[in-house]
């Protein structure tokens, strides 16, 4: 059973946002990593790039397939998780701890359209 | 499960990496019953096979296997296949699942002027591939099929439980291994024995592709197609121009003499990004080719691909880039064998 953490925001395409002040840490959910299998590469944007809610900003790749990353929020990329460049498998070990990008939120209202843990749980198990 | 050549097949049983490593280090088994079996029988059997196949089977003893292609007149590839010489007037052609109907039609079309009977028995035969350094041991002890004495690319028939089966030392992984052809019941029983023994990892289509790719073996549809001739794919050694005549000979002879415009090469990337089928290969913002198969190679950890590139960029060491998602990633043209084969000859 995939882990779901209270207090995070979730998208239908299985990304999460953990909000700290004006920043959001974006990654993929435990459910998503389970579905993907062994992650062998994470394609990330560059610091300073703009991301837009509902738009692709990178990809998580398993041996067999590339899966697009869709940003649940808009803003500028403040930081990328560089440890994933050499150790993409960390996503399989702990998807929530290994966020992919840190975004300076330009439209925090967007968070309202995302799911909470309870709603996401229902979404996963549908 | 994935759809492949009209069959529903498992992409993986456990995961691709585990299955891949089992074949490289121990033993894996693939249910490849989807492969096609077409028989050519009759007084002109050898003449006919020589006519529709690029390799030279003339004078070979029964028990010998040949790899090669069937070609169109323009040198494009109908299919790549194995030819088993069962007897002087009896050949088995093992073809790709997705091409069974196309190949069968093609062979029948060309058979009218030969004294042969061409039959498609793909539905009758099942097939297992038992692959890896432990394959011989597993064949002998678990399946009790004596095969030690078989050399690479030879086969024998065995009487087992009232039916004749075929055992060959062949495969599609770059490791030592065997392929068995028999009734669906025999194949099912053998599979069950292997599962009970826990000595053979069940392997899906996923690692079948990563294994063959690493050792530079082509997949029809990727490195060979109606547009990609064996000469372009670097498989000229399986095209015997010394033979009297065969379909496509004039075209491939011209390609060999004048050179080809595009060629299949290997590319190694500087980073871990994964070049996949269909991605563009570029130099100086100009598209010069397309990726045919690519992975982060499980055995070497390197991101590598095979690609069809313009001949001007096919030389070893040529710097190129591959467009992966939005970015260009640096790479170098290399040999298309990323891992050494480990055959027992």
Q: Provide the pLDDT for residue B158.
A: 97
Count of residues in chain B: 345
What are chain B's domains? 1-34+122-215 (3.30.1360.120), 36-121+229-259 (3.30.70.1400), 261-337 (2.40.30.110)
* pLDDT tens digit sequence for B183-218: 999 999 999 999 999 999 999 999 999 999 999 999
Residue A103: which pLDDT band, with cuts at 50, 70 and 90?
very high
Place of tokens 């292997």: B194
The whole-number average pLDDT for the span B69-73 is 98
The whole-number average pLDDT for the span B102-107 is 98
* pLDDT tens digit sequence for B247-271: 999 999 999 999 999 999 999 999 9
The residues in B 196-225 lying below 8 A from A, measured between CB atoms, are 206, 210
Asked if B115 and B44 touch (Cβ cutoff 8 Å), the reply is: yes
Asked if A59 and A69 touch (Cβ cutoff 8 Å), the reply is: yes
CA distance B170 to chain A (A): 25
Q: What mean pLDDT, rounded, does chain A reach? A: 95
Residue B325: which pLDDT band, with cuts at 50, 70 and 90?
confident
What are chain A's domains? 11-106 (2.40.50.100)
Which residue in the set B11, B12, B276 is minimally distant from A66, CB to CB? B276
The whole-number average pLDDT for the span B265-288 is 97
Counting residues of chain B whose pLDDT is more than 90, the rounded percentage is 96
Which tokens belong to B293?
A: 């198969």
CA distance B86 to chain A (A): 38
Considering only CB atoms, which chain B residues are within 8 Å of A100? none
Q: Which of A24-28, A96-100, B12-16, B316-320 has the lowest mean pLDDT?
A: B12-16
CA distance B24 to chain A (A): 17
Question: 3-class DSSP state for residue B82?
Answer: strand
Q: Provide the pLDDT for residue B3.
A: 85
Which residue in chain B has the smallest CA separation from A88? B272
- Cα torsion B114, B235, B339, B286 to 10°: value is -130
Nearest C-alpha neighbor of B33 from the set B128, B99, B158, B103: B128
Q: Say if the Cβ atoms of B274 and A40 lie within 8 Å.
A: yes
CA distances from B154 to A9, B45, B106 (A): 61, 19, 26
Nearest C-alpha neighbor of B67 from the set B172, B165, B157, B150: B172
The whole-number average pLDDT for the span B312-336 is 96
Residue B7: which pLDDT band, with cuts at 50, 70 and 90?
confident
Q: Provide the pLDDT for residue A125.
A: 73
The whole-number average pLDDT for the span B136-144 is 98
Dihedral sign (CA B47, B48, B51, B53):
negative
Q: Provide the pLDDT for residue A126.
A: 64
Counting residues of chain A whose pLDDT is more than 70, the rounded percentage is 99
Phi, psi for residue A121 in degrees, rounded to 5: -60, -45
Contacts 24+ apart (CB under 8 A), B285-288: B288/B312, B288/B313, B288/B320
The pLDDT of residue B4 is above 90:
no
Q: How many CB atoms lie within 10 A of CB B25?
A: 14
Q: Provide the pLDDT for residue B178.
A: 98
The whole-number average pLDDT for the span B89-96 is 98
* pLDDT tens digit sequence for B124-133: 999 999 999 9
The pLDDT of residue B320 is above 80:
yes
The pLDDT of residue B2 is above 90:
no
The whole-number average pLDDT for the span B143-147 is 97
Q: Provide the pLDDT for residue A32.
A: 94
CA distances from B205 to B13, B40, B233, B311, B341 (A): 9, 29, 22, 32, 19
Q: What mean pLDDT, rounded, does chain B reach? A: 97
CA distance B279 to chain A (A): 12
* pLDDT tens digit sequence for B170-190: 999 999 999 999 999 999 999
Considering only CB atoms, which chain B residues are within 8 Å of A66? 274, 276, 325
């Amino acid at each position: 059973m995939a882990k779901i953490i209270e207090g995070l925001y979730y998208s239908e395409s299985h990304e999460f946002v953990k909000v700290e002040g004006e920043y959001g840490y974006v990654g993929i959910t435990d459910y998503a990593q389970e579905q993907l299998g062994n992650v062998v590469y994470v394609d990330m944007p560059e610091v300073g790039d703009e991301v837009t809610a509902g738009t692709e900003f990178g990809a998580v790749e398993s041996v067999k397939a590339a899966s697009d990353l869709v940003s649940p929020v808009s803003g500028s990329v403040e930081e990328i998780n560089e440890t994933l460049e050499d150790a993409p498998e960390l996503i399989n070990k702990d998807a929530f701890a290994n966020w992919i990008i840190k975004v300076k939120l330009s439209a925090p209202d967007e968070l309202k359209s995302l799911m909470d843990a309870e709603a996401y749980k229902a979404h996963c198990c549908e | 499960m994935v759809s492949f050549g009209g069959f529903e097949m498992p992409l993986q049983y456990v995961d691709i990496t585990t299955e891949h490593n089992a074949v490289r280090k121990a033993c894996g088994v693939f249910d490849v019953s989807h492969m096609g079996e077409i028989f050519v029988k009759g007084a002109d059997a050898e003449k006919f096979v020589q006519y529709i196949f690029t390799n030279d089977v003339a004078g070979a003893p029964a028990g010998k296997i040949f790899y090669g292609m069937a070609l169109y007149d323009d040198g494009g590839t109908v299919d790549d296949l194995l030819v088993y010489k069962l007897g002087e007037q009896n050949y088995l052609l093992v073809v790709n699942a997705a091409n069974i109907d196309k190949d069968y039609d093609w062979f029948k079309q060309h058979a009218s002027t030969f004294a042969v009977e061409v039959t498609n028995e793909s539905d009758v035969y099942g097939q297992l591939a038992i692959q890896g350094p432990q394959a011989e041991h597993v064949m002998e002890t678990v399946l009790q099929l004596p095969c030690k004495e078989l050399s690479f690319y030879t086969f024998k028939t065995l009487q087992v439980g009232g039916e004749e089966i075929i055992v060959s030392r062949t495969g599609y992984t770059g490791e030592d291994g065997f392929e068995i052809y028999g009734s669906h019941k025999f194949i099912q029983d053998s599979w069950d024995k292997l599962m009970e023994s826990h000595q053979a990892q069940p392997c899906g289509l996923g690692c079948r592709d990563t294994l063959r790719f690493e050792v530079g073996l082509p997949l029809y549809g990727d490195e060979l197609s109606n547009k990609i001739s064996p000469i372009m794919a670097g498989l000229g050694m399986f095209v015997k121009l010394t033979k009297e005549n065969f379909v496509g000979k004039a075209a491939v002879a011209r390609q060999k003499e004048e050179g080809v415009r595009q060629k299949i090469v290997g590319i190694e990337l500087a980073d871990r990004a994964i070049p996949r089928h269909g991605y563009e290969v570029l130099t100086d913002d100009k598209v010069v080719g397309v990726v045919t198969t690519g992975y982060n190679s499980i055995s070497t950890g390197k991101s590598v691909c095979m690609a069809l590139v313009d001949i001007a960029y096919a030389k070893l060491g040529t710097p190129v880039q591959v467009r992966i998602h939005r970015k260009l990633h640096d790479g170098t043209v290399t040999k298309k064998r990323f891992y050494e084969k480990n055959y027992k000859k």
